[in-house]
Amino acid sequence: MTFEQDPDLTELRNSLGREMAEEAAEDERLTAAYDRRRFDLAMVAKEMVNRGSRVSVVFSGHTFSGLVVGAGPDHVTVQGAGQIADIRIDAGFWSILPGADQGGGNVAGEETLTARLAEAADRGGMVRLALAGGEIVIGRVDVVASDHVELVDADDRTLYVPAGLILAIVRSSESQ
């Protein structure tokens, strides 16, 4: 009688195979959980960029949803309907919408939110700055200093906005 013909040995082989598969699945689950514990928010942001995640973020009374198209060490860039927002990664809570990954194609960079503000100053277009208290200020970024931003509003007033209060920079996707 061969190994394949003995019913007891066949059952033993099948049982052993199931146990090994279950142990391998448990090892994979534990490894994934361990990896996630090591992630910080900047790593989560890079993962969202790599996957091309669709997200919704709620911060200071505002909600912004769209496709993650970029990230830096302290922010995520989300393209919504007709607008793009650079949102501080620690500004609020992020929901990754299930089944909506676009497959990526974008790469996370090393630019900070301050660098994005400097780009806005160079472009000269109108932006909306979402602030920690829920306020929105609208204007043209004129100067980015070490601890504040000078913004010129529609009435030609200069506003001095502390950099620590800025949660997001929102601009029209037409003015890129």
Residue-level pLDDT at 38:
82
The pTM score is 0.78
18 found inside a domain: no
73 found inside a domain: yes
Confidence of residue 7 (pLDDT cuts 50, 70, 90): confident
Strands of the sheet with 126-131, listed across from one edge: 93-96, 54-59, 62-71, 75-79, 83-88, 166-172, 126-131, 136-144, 148-152, 158-162
Decide if 84 contacts 173 (C-beta within 8 A). yes
24 found inside a domain: no
pLDDT at 175 over 70: no
62 found inside a domain: yes
77 found inside a domain: yes
Task: For residue 45, give its domain range.
Answer: 39-176
| CATH number reported for the structural domain that contains residue 94 in this entry | 2.30.30.600
**What does the pLDDT look like over 123-143, one tens digit per residue?**
998 999 999 999 999 999 999
Residue-level pLDDT at 155:
95
Structural domain count, the chain: 1
104 found inside a domain: yes
Highest-scoring range by mean pLDDT, 32-41, 103-112, 152-161: 152-161
- In terms of C-beta distances under 8 Å and separation of at least 24 residues, what long-range contacts does 145-154 make, across chains too? 149/117
Separation CA 107–CA 97 (nearest Å): 20
Percent of all residues in the chain with a pLDDT value above 70, rounded to a whole number: 91
**What does the pLDDT look like over 81-136, one tens digit per residue?**
999 999 999 999 999 988 766 665 566 688 999 999 999 999 998 999 999 999 99
Mean pLDDT of 25-31: 83
119 found inside a domain: yes
27 found inside a domain: no
Burial of 87 (0-12, 13-18, 19+ CB in 10 A): buried
